Amino acid sequence: MELIESHLCFGGEQRRYKHGSAVLGCEMTVSVFLPPDFGSHTPVLYWLSGLTCTDENFVQKAGAQRLAAELGLAIVAPDTSPRGEAVADDEGYDLGKGAGFYVNATQAPWASHYRMDDYIVKELPPLIEALGLGSRRGISGHSMGGHGALVLALRNRDFYGSVSAFSPISNPVNCPWGKKAFGAYLGDNPADWESYDASLLLADAKAPWPVRVDVGLKDNFLEEQLRVEALEAAAAQSGSELTVHRQSGYDHSYFFVASFMEAHLRFHAAQLK
């Protein structure tokens, strides 16, 4: 990876890299926070952002670096989709660039670039660990990224040691955002969508780790798009340890994410250390 930006931050470094992605067939950027004295002992938290975001939204708005430095956590924030002139796009904000949904697309014209599942799980970790970091991994995210964090953890239960989410799209096969994206990326058959639905995956088998979810009760998307009650029902069915924190007065914004970032970072540090 080529370092394109670096800033000293709470004794650590906030870096930004670019690299060619063989999986996505384009150049990608990724932001990486390295705590002081990082090394092979340092666990890595992968952060997946939501619709319209890039790798920079989290590092600029979440306020995570101070505590991550204290806890000795590295944080990796990749982009939300492939980028570039050759990459297919859509006029809507909820499909195409900025809206990869962390799936491996199977349908044209998306399949040639939109393979965010393989990128996050298979291609990116070796690049990150080559910086000298350890192989203990957690994953978290917000909204579309909360969906991604839950789904990728549940699809790769031995790969991640901790998982949490803010405002996750919890049951995408039954919400407008999910139906639109999955129909485009995965095809018209809803049965082909099920392996990327966190509620269905959680209902199928008990999670090997506790799961933390936070949602704001003034989130405009709470009932129609997020459907966290489906995730709770799934956890009850499989006997999984899921805690949903419903935060009174909070909305869907990064103000909400920043307000509870400390709790999530301490949650991951406890699991990974």
pLDDT tens column, 123-137: 999 999 999 999 999
Q: Report the chain's mean pLDDT, rounded to a whole number.
A: 98
Active site residue 219: yes
In contact, 269 and 71? CB cutoff 8 Å: yes
pLDDT digits (tens, 9 = 90+) for 95-134: 999 999 999 999 999 999 999 999 999 999 999 999 999 9
What is the model's pLDDT at position 204? 97
Question: How far is the C-alpha of 134 from the C-alpha of 158, rounded, in Å?
Answer: 15
Q: What is the dihedral of CA 182, 183, 189, 190, to 10 degrees?
A: 40
Query: Which position among 21, 31, 140, 143 bears the catalytic label?
Result: 143
Instruction: Name the pLDDT band for 217 (thresholds 50, 70, 90).
Output: very high
pLDDT digits (tens, 9 = 90+) for 172-214: 999 999 999 999 999 999 999 999 999 999 999 999 999 999 9
pLDDT digits (tens, 9 = 90+) for 235-267: 999 999 999 999 999 999 999 999 999 999 999
What mean pLDDT do residues 56-79 have? 98
Domains in the chain, start-ordered, CATH in brackets? Answer: 2-272 (3.40.50.1820)
What mean pLDDT do residues 74-84 have? 98
Token pair for residue 177? 């955002």
Token pair for residue 163? 């998982």
What is the model's pLDDT at position 121? 98
Active site residue 204: no
What is the model's pLDDT at position 220? 98
What is the model's pLDDT at position 59? 97
What mean pLDDT do residues 146-158 have? 98
Query: Which position among 219, 240, 264, 268 bears the catalytic label?
Result: 219
**What is the DSSP-derived secondary structure letter of residue 121?**
I
Which region holds residue 79: left if phi is over 0, alpha if psi is between -120 and 50, else beta?
beta
In contact, 163 and 211? CB cutoff 8 Å: yes
What is the model's pLDDT at position 273? 85
In contact, 264 and 140? CB cutoff 8 Å: yes
Query: Which position among 113, 252, 264, 268 bears the catalytic label?
Result: 252
Active site residue 19: no
